[in-house]
Amino acid sequence: MRNTTKTIIASLLFSTLLATANAEETLRIGYQKSSTLLTLIKQRGDLDKALADRGIKVSWHEFTSGLPLLEALNLNNVDLSADVADTVPVFAQAAGADLTYYARETPSPEAQAILVPANSSIQSLQVLKGKKIAVTKAAGSHYLLIAALQKAGLKFSDITPAWLTPADGRAALEHGSVDAWVTWEPFVTSSKVEQHTRVLVSGKGLASYQRYYLVSTPYAKKHPEVLGIVYKTLDQEAQWLKAHPTDAAKILSPLWGNLPLATVEQANQQRSYQIEPVNKSDLAEQQKIADAFYQAKLLPKAINAQDVGTWQPETK
């Protein structure tokens, strides 16, 4: 009887240890449909293969937008995130999230734009005064709109924002319920091709539009070697996309609402997809974004954009 009891206890302890080990060996990644590189990595299985060699399993979790994704990261529901627009981390930082930047995509200012119908009388930013503009709240396009209005000598209160998702913003512009729409790729290219819209202004000279990759700080400190593999895989995938634009478009098209391959390729040409580490000296525009949103009373407090963690890949 005693031997049986000991066997049962030993079995339970082994099961508990095995379950704990398995939990520790799973990397939970949060991503969005706009997370181009990690979407390709997921579909092609590159990271799963690289980490499987180290006994690490990858679990993928899709989110509708960047803010819920970083909230999940802060609540330890995922370990690291795919790219989010440059505006998103400042909101997470203002909410007290303990996050670390582990990579960025270099600027792609022309991957965002303010669009108007082809026959619109709006020919300059100044004419936006009094107009109704569709924009996604807290997205990179939101900052582009703030910067564009400032350049035109206008205040945000001079326009009427329509807080809409990209799909709803597109429909609103098409049906004439808004005068302009601020969005990002692939929506910019697909709208130009299918709706024959016109770019009033891109982000060039206004908003550099960098995409940032983040990880929970505790995970970054505990698993730097895993981040090294993720970073290397991202860099390799970026190079593959640029070298094989049509093959990449064939993977992305059905995930992006069956956009024509040519549209996907054209949209991807507007993104740099160049992966680099994040240095605190690179965060000057993050500070501008944070200050702009705080002044607009969209952030609960002022923040120091450099008051974050940054992970650096090993140099050979």
Q: What is the CATH number of the domain that holds 225?
A: 3.40.190.10
Is 316 within the bounds of a domain? no
Q: How far apart are CA 229 and CA 246, in angstroms?
A: 26
Residue at which a domain ends, from 202, 224, 257: 202
What is the chain's pLDDT, residue by residue, as a tens digit (316 residues)?
444 444 444 444 444 434 444 445 899 999 998 899 999 999 999 999 999 989 999 999 999 888 899 999 999 999 999 999 999 999 999 999 999 999 999 999 999 999 999 999 999 999 999 999 999 988 999 999 999 999 999 999 999 999 999 999 999 999 999 999 999 999 999 999 999 999 999 999 999 999 999 999 999 999 999 999 999 999 999 999 999 999 999 999 999 999 999 999 999 999 999 999 999 988 999 999 999 999 988 899 999 999 999 999 987 5
The string of pLDDT tens digits covering residues 57-88 is: 999 999 988 889 999 999 999 999 999 999 99
Is 315 within the bounds of a domain? no
Is 96 within the bounds of a domain? yes
For residues 143 and 160, membership in a common domain is answered with yes
Residue 311 near residue 102, CB atoms below 8 Å = yes
The pTM of the full predicted model, rounded to 2 decimals, is 0.88
Is 238 within the bounds of a domain? yes
Residue 38: Cβ-neighbour burial (10 angstroms; 0-12, 13-18, 19+): buried
Helix (H, G, I), strand (E, B) or coil at 126: helix
For residues 115 and 102, membership in a common domain is answered with no
For residues 84 and 141, membership in a common domain is answered with no
Residue at which a domain ends, from 202, 220, 254: 202
For residues 19 and 97, membership in a common domain is answered with yes
Is 188 within the bounds of a domain? yes
For residues 234 and 93, membership in a common domain is answered with yes
For residues 11 and 90, membership in a common domain is answered with yes
Q: Which domain holds residue 249?
A: 2-107+210-310
Q: How far apart are CA 238 and CA 86, in angstroms?
A: 19
Which tokens is 301 given?
């407090």
Is 72 within the bounds of a domain? yes
Residue 133 near residue 179, CB atoms below 8 Å = yes
**CA torsion through residues 288, 105, 83, 140, sign:** positive
For residues 126 and 240, membership in a common domain is answered with no
Residue at which a domain ends, from 173, 202, 231: 202
Which pLDDT score, from 0 to 100, does residue 315 have?
Answer: 74
Inter-helix orientation angle 187-194/261-269, to 10° = 130
Token look-up 């990261």 returns: 73
Cα dist. 46→13, 65, 191, 252 in Å? 35, 24, 32, 16
For residues 215 and 102, membership in a common domain is answered with yes
For residues 160 and 288, membership in a common domain is answered with no
Q: Select from 235, 266, 236 the least CA-distant residue to 249.
A: 266
Which residue type sits at 288? K
For residues 216 and 296, membership in a common domain is answered with yes
Residue 100 near residue 217, CB atoms below 8 Å = yes
For residues 83 and 221, membership in a common domain is answered with yes
DSSP string, 14-81: HHHHHHHHHHHTEEEEEE-TT-HHHHHHHHHTHHHHHHHTTT-EEEEEE-SSHHHHHHHHHTTS-SEE
How many structural domains comprise the chain?
2
Backbone angles phi, psi at 233, to 5 degrees: -65, -40
Cα dist. 203→70, 114, 141, 146 in Å? 24, 8, 9, 11
Token look-up 């539009």 returns: 209
Instruction: Give one word for 238, left, alpha or beta, with left for phi > 0 and alpha for psi -120 to 50.
Output: alpha
Which pLDDT score, from 0 to 100, does residue 167 have?
Answer: 93
Which tokens is 5 given?
């009891």
Residue 69 near residue 81, CB atoms below 8 Å = yes
For residues 151 and 224, membership in a common domain is answered with no
